[in-house]
Amino acid sequence: MPTADARGRGVAADRFAAIAPSYARFRPRYPAVLFHYLALRAPGTTLAWDCGTGNGQAALGLAERFARVIATDPSAEQLAQARPHDRVAYRVATYDSGIESGAAQLVTAAQALHWMDVDAFIAEARRVLQPGGVLAVWCYSLCRIAPALDELVEFFHRVTIGSFWSPERRLVDEGYRTLALPIDELDVPPFELVTDMSLPQFLGYVETWSAVQQSFVVRGRDSFEAFARSVAERWGRPHTMRRVTFPLHVRAGELR
């Protein structure tokens, strides 16, 4: 979902449409313990709404703990990549969830809030949440692998493609902490998103970055290919699996 003002947010809903299959294949999955925590904090587990669900990564995790999940996204291409689940209903929508007022115990936005019109999202969350219901938003920032690789990734992220990041990206780098959310904040424990990746999987993930895609449009693939060669020199065998850790930044609480 996306841009820098409320008018523009949502206009770029198809920003990831062209790479929806790669997004579904290479983006990391959220830890089950996160959904366990949210289910315990919510006043019930009858219904959750996941807004900006993309290919349904968070929705599927929620479905392990909630009886029903409504998962919405403005991109039909992204939703086409979502794995069907008996307890998940996918809908093409921006902020109109279609949920009955006061019916949901949890509303989530996973790696999506920085693309949203936050006021419109909060208004719909307030409408659908029952009293005591929980709003939870989260994002993951730059990953860690090993110092020799981390310095390459940091330089590529900050310098090589730094000018291609949308202004919203800084909200992710700040862990959403600078967003004024009208919630009674919970003291959320630290979470990490940890996965094992081969070199092709890691490069496939990096290629899904919005700034990488924008750089391809403006100046082609040369910078990315140079980065890929540098990473390959330090990775080892291409199919060697390396542990990749993403700091997960979660904000959750009851709406005021």
- Whole-angstrom CA distances from 82 to 58, 244, 246 are 11, 23, 22
pLDDT, one tens digit per residue, over 235-246 is 999 999 999 999
- Say which range, 20-24, 45-49, 63-67, 149-153, has the weakest mean pLDDT: 20-24
pLDDT of 92 > 70? The answer is: yes
What's the pLDDT score for residue 16?
Answer: 65
Number of domains in the chain: 1
- Say which range, 134-138, 153-157, 166-170, 239-243, has the weakest mean pLDDT: 166-170
Question: Could you tell me if residue 123 is inside a domain?
Answer: yes
Question: Could you tell me if residue 8 is inside a domain?
Answer: no
d(CA 17, CA 197): 24
Burial class (CB in 10 A: 0-12, 13-18, 19+), 151: exposed
Which CATH number fits the domain that encloses residue 218? Answer: 3.40.50.150
* Pair of tokens at residue 52: 């900006």
Domain that holds residue 27: 17-255
What is residue 236's three-state secondary structure? coil
Segment holding 212, helix H or strand E: helix 210-219
Question: Could you tell me if residue 158 is inside a domain?
Answer: yes
Segment holding 20, helix H or strand E: helix 20-26
Q: Cβ distance 242 to 146 under 8 Å? A: yes
* Pair of tokens at residue 127: 């409408």
